[in-house]
Amino acid sequence: MNAREAAYNALLRHENNSSYSNIELDATIKKYGLEGVERSFCTALFYGVIERAITLDYYISLLSDRKDIDTNVRVILRMGLYQIIYMDKVPDSAAVNESVSLARRFWARKNSEGFINAILRSYLREKDKLSLPDKKKDPIKHISVKYSMPEWLCAMFCENYGADTAEKIFDEFNKVPALTLRVNTLKTTRESLMERLSAAGIKATPTKNAPNGLLLAGGTPYSALEAFEGEFFVQNEASQICVEVLGAKEGETILDACACPGGKSFGISINMKNEGAVHSCDLHKNKLSLIERGANSLGISIIETMERNAAKEDVRGVKYDRILCDVPCSGLGVIAQKPDIKRKNPSDIERLPTVQAAILCESAKHLKSGGVLVYSTCTLNPRENADVVDAFLAENKDFSLVPFEVGGVRSDGKAELFPHIHKTNGFFIAKMKKA
């Protein structure tokens, strides 16, 4: 089983079963034992086709009058076009021939090979004549096809941020995100880890705004970091900034209301120098083991995990110095890492502000007087962000916004982080204090 065949099988299952892309790819790599170049090529092709599916389907529609293209054939066409358009190191002839071979091996329906060959060769002949939808006549469709984003998402971002900003954000979403680490300062320093990574041939640079983050050179595989296990964990700079805004101190008692997979709890504990108490809660008991294993690897002993619905009443009666509400959200700021988000049903997003507000209001009840409450999401959607916080403040007069500054991120109490400006995930942070 070569890389293209493995990618085809994974893409077909992903398309038919709506499975999570990362789980599907991991299972495929393990099943077929892909390593080295084959593994890298399969990964790039698999994720690339998913990320650019809207654009690829648009070109297929221009090149074929068929409305009922079988899923198997469509997947092969997407793969072929993706190699031609986006993979410079793959010769056009190889992209066409290998696509026809896939059809011959996996899809023997009459004429499928000829159809795939014809479509791909038509693209090669006519690519200079093919154009995107007219931007003036239909700006939403133009942006959708250009950046391979669903039209509902393009309309939302254009309404909230304007078309120019929306395009800049989408352009960043289509870039391969670099791996970002949060240094475990219980065991080492950023400078020391950076030097030792360099000695191992891994280039790392300090994050711009987070004081203990490292940005790895593009393409660095996680497997290359095994020798440094326990001295870091993977965390985007936006999440690191969020932890710094919370400002946890040694000896305090902290609530991480929606903690899994645990990165922010780890960062909080490290900032507390492993002195005090961090209660890391999650709705799903089976996920808590992720936090426990991670804490053990990092040498953190102050985290206590708890199964809890953060939107429901907590009868334990514990009062906290600081509370982090990193609430469940639409995830529209992390599309670069999770392209599956583009397949969301927009109606599912509409119910989220109600849940988010319930979590924020319930958590606030357990904050000490003078305590700090941070609300955050990894989405870019005012309805889930500023609107939730503004409504909360209107109903809770004993809370007020607190200005904050972390690196170059300055705010009067509410901040949106944008991929094209801050070079982080799209993120929202609000810091409040109880009188």
Q: What is the 3-state secondary structure (H, E, C) of 316-357?
A: CCCCEEEEEEECCCCCCCCCCCCHHHHHCCHHHHHCHHHHHH
* Strand 277-282 with 253-256, pairing: parallel
> Which tokens is 294 given?
């991670």
CA-CA distance, 364 to 413, in Å (whole number)? 17
Q: How many CB atoms lie within 10 A of CB 138?
A: 14
Structure tokens at 397: 């007069």
For residue 243 the two structure tokens come to 């932890």
Check if 378 is active-site: yes
Q: Where are the beta strands (DSSP E) in 297-425?
A: 303-307, 320-326, 367-377, 399-401, 404-406, 409-411, 414-417
CA end-to-end span of the chain, whole Å?
Answer: 64
Q: Please identify which of the residues 42, 154, 329, 378 carries the catalytic annotation.
A: 378
Residue 284 tokens, joined? 């799903």
Strands 320-326 and 253-256 turn out to be parallel
How far is C-alpha 173 from the chain's CA centre? 9
CA distance 416 to 381: 10
Angle 21-26-32 (CA atoms, 0-180°, nearest 5)? 125
Give the active site residues: 378
